[in-house]
């Protein structure tokens, strides 16, 4: 059985300004620093997962299916993925568009980040997804986005393949509460929900939210919801509700990408056969350690330095 892992979804450029406070409206302030990073949830998770695999002496291949614009920023992103060993050979390049960009203000006093997005790049098509040889992968993670009909068609295609061949685990992340995303849950073996998604559906606690989501899920599906400083909860394959406290570094420096880090760490743990409880513990440790450093490019070294292992 193939054990390579494929992420499907959005890639963008993060243009980050570091400020010592969040500016008020009409304020003229000076940023202390500017950095350009790769962004987009599945893109970040692919890079983080590649680092975690290497830090644990693994050799599982990681790939990203996404769209690139035809511009200089896209070359920066290609170089970044290549540097981290993430394959993007199935990606498509779209002309007459710009690389999607997230303009981010990072408050160095609190560690918070505020994001404004710009995007005129078309989303991935079903044809782009069905052209991927799924038999090459043991795990496929499909990001839930606002183009719900296309995402559902991708999920249905992958589910049919997985049910026929029995050698593919499917996961998704439902972060933004776009209409129709809840209908995707039934296709996946592992579902990551955000706190915002839970709030949008009327829930104030991760545990009760996950209990409510069980009715929408496949039998034996793993449901996970991270809740920031309150840790993370999950429903395992047997329907048991689990909780793991958050891990907080000595000082919170940068929370950008903490959720992507958590998701990557869970996928890493589950893909090598760890229990859901072990995966939650590992992912909270890795995500918490990430919040103590700037960026996501040194996570492999951070987990090694902190003795965080599967």
For the segment 23-67, what is each residue's pLDDT rounded down to a tens digit?
999 999 999 999 999 999 999 999 999 999 999 999 999 999 999
Q: 262 with 284: CB under 8 angstroms?
A: yes
Is 106's pLDDT higher than 50?
yes
pLDDT band at 248 (very low <50, low <70, confident <90, very high): confident
Give the lowest-confidence range in 60-64, 273-277, 302-306: 302-306
pTM, 2 dp: 0.94
Average pLDDT of span 99-120: 92
Asked whether the predicted pLDDT for residue 110 surpasses 90, the reply is no
Confidence of residue 111 (pLDDT cuts 50, 70, 90): confident
Residues 254 and 299 sit within 8 Å (Cβ to Cβ): no
Q: What is the mean pLDDT of the chain?
A: 95
Tell whether the model's pLDDT for residue 1 goes beyond 50: no
Residue 295 clears pLDDT 70, i.e. is over it:
yes
Handedness of CA 29, 32, 36, 37 (dihedral sign): negative
Q: What is the DSSP string of 112-143?
A: -EEEEEE--SPPPPHHHHHTS-GGGEEEEEEE
Mean pLDDT to the nearest integer, 90-101: 96
Instruction: Give me the pLDDT at residue 309, please.
Output: 87
Provide the CB-side half-sphere exposure for 78 (13 A, CA): 16
């Amino acid at each position: 059985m193939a054990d390579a892992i494929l992420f499907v979804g959005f890639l963008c450029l993060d243009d980050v300004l570091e400020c010592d406070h969040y500016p008020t409206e009409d304020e003229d302030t000076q940023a202390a620093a500017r950095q350009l990073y790769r962004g987009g949830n599945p893109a970040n998770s692919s890079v983080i997962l590649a680092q975690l695999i290497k830090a644990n002496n693994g050799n599982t291949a990681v790939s990203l299916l996404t769209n690139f614009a035809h511009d200089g920023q896209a070359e920066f992103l290609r170089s970044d993925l290549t540097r981290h060993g993430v394959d993007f050979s199935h990606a498509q390049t779209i002309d007459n568009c710009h690389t999607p960009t997230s303009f981010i203000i990072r408050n160095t006093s609190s560690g918070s980040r505020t994001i404004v997005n710009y995007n005129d790049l078309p989303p991935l098509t079903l044809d782009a997804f069905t052209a991927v040889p799924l038999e090459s992968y043991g795990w496929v993670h499909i990001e839930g986005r606002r183009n719900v009909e296309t995402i559902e068609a991708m999920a249905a295609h992958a589910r049919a393949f997985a049910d026929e061949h029995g050698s593919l685990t499917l996961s998704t992340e439902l972060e933004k509460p776009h209409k129709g995303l809840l209908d995707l849950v039934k296709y996946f073996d592992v579902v990551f929900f955000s706190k915002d998604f839970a709030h949008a559906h009327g829930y104030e606690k991760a545990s009760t939210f996950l209990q409510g989501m069980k009715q929408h899920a496949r039998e034996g599906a793993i449901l996970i919801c991270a809740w920031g400083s309150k840790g993370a909860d999950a429903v395992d394959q047997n329907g048991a509700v689990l909780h793991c406290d958050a891990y907080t570094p000595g000082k919170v420096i940068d929370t950008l990408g903490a959720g992507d880090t958590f998701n990557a760490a869970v996928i890493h743990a589950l893909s090598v056969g760890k229990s859901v409880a072990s995966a939650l513990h590992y992912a909270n440790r890795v995500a918490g350690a990430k919040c103590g450093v700037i960026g996501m490019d040194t996570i492999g070294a951070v987990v090694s330095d902190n003795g965080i292992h599967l």
